[in-house]
Amino acid sequence: MKPQPRKRVSAGVLSTGTEEQAFAEVVEMIQASRGQAMAAVNTALVDLYWRIGEYVSNKLETATWGEGVVETLSQYIARRHPGLRGFTRANLFRMRQFYETYRGDEKVAALLRQLPWTHHMAVLGRCKRVEEREFYLRLAVQGRWSSRELERQLRAALFERAVLDPPKVSAALTQSHPEAQGVFRDAYLVEFLELPEGHREADLHKSLLENLRRFMTELGPDFCFIGSEVPVQVGTRDFALDLLFFHRGLRCLVAIELKIDEFQPEYLGKLEFYLEALDRDVRKPHEEPSIGMLLCTSRNNDVVEYALSRAASPALIAEYRTQLPDKKLLQAKLHEFYALTEMASLEGEESS
């Protein structure tokens, strides 16, 4: 009896779903390896620039070199090693600035090698204060910001807004989630929605869903999207919650209600109603109490304070803004804020 010939699988045709799964695993390994390789290259590059910056700084500080020698060094590299690009006079001085800015700063040491060089150049070029640089470095690492997103947040004066305008939250939110102050913001920028004048709530809702990835980046790290117009049933009545998220760090549901006008006190009552329904019928036993956010176009701070002072639920009231703020104005206010803070501190020391 002659042996039967083995069946051959045509090139490019998967014989089984098992093979397709195996091939997908190989592709996943390749992509993971590429990501690791890029991260390793970035770490090595930042480390190299740190060491060059340290070397140049030491030479200049000990007067071994004058600044003209740095120009000579850049010319030497360009002439003798034309394949080594990026070591111009300006870039060598940026490496020196990078080293001198962060040397001895143990708080940010672990962050430096987690970000690309372009991120560091953006932060060094725009941030003057120690705490401002640390603020952006930490958020960029946590949120895995691209250089484009980092530039956007720098233009949007996120640091100035965080210092000058902390989020407006209820006492219940502070008690149940003490760390929430560092998670939420007073205002969220959604200029990328390109909303028209006189837009409706449906326009805002639809555009947020169409730009969900960018909106979640604006919300901050650890937010996970659950659903839109989430059904909430109480008794025989049906309701719909605009947006529902879960925050991994706070370990709780976050409900967001959208309003296209100024905050009204009655809005808070409806939000608290939704939070009660979520906690009774949706929240898991291991999760913390749900948080509610009202996202409005504007609000009167006195009205907000009165409304939140008696609020029994973890809630906050924030604005959404469709245009970037005036960064220079915010920087001037921040300078005044720090001056007043320093003056108050000195007066306190004198009185003691």
Cα(321)–Cα(241) distance, rounded to whole angstroms? 21
Residue-level pLDDT at 325: 86
Cα(173)–Cα(117) distance, rounded to whole angstroms? 38
Q: What is the mean pLDDT of each run of 10 residues along the chain (352 residues)?
A: 53 59 73 73 90 94 90 93 91 96 90 94 94 95 94 94 93 94 94 90 96 95 95 92 97 97 95 96 95 96 94 95 88 86 69 63
pLDDT digits (tens, 9 = 90+) for 183-207: 999 999 999 998 988 899 999 999 9
What is the DSSP secondary structure assignment for residue 298, as one 8-state letter?
A: B
Strand partners, 316: 169, 293
Cα(189)–Cα(203) distance, rounded to whole angstroms? 16
Residue-level pLDDT at 256: 98
Residue-level pLDDT at 139: 94
CB 263 within 8 A of CB 304: yes
Q: How many CA atoms lie within 13 A of 321 on its CB side?
A: 16
Q: Are strands 223-234 and 237-247 parallel, antiparallel or unpaired?
A: antiparallel
Residue-level pLDDT at 23: 63
> Can you spell out the DSSP letters for 318-352?
EEEESS---HHHHHHHHHHHHHHHHHHHHHHHHH-
Distances (CA, A) of 120 to 68, 74, 162, 222, 283: 25, 21, 21, 23, 41
Residue-level pLDDT at 343: 74
What are the start-end ranges of the E strands in the chain?
168-169, 187-189, 223-234, 237-247, 252-258, 291-296, 315-321
Residue-level pLDDT at 9: 46
The H or E element spanning position 240 is strand 237-247
pLDDT digits (tens, 9 = 90+) for 273-323: 999 999 999 999 999 999 999 999 999 999 999 999 999 999 999 999 998
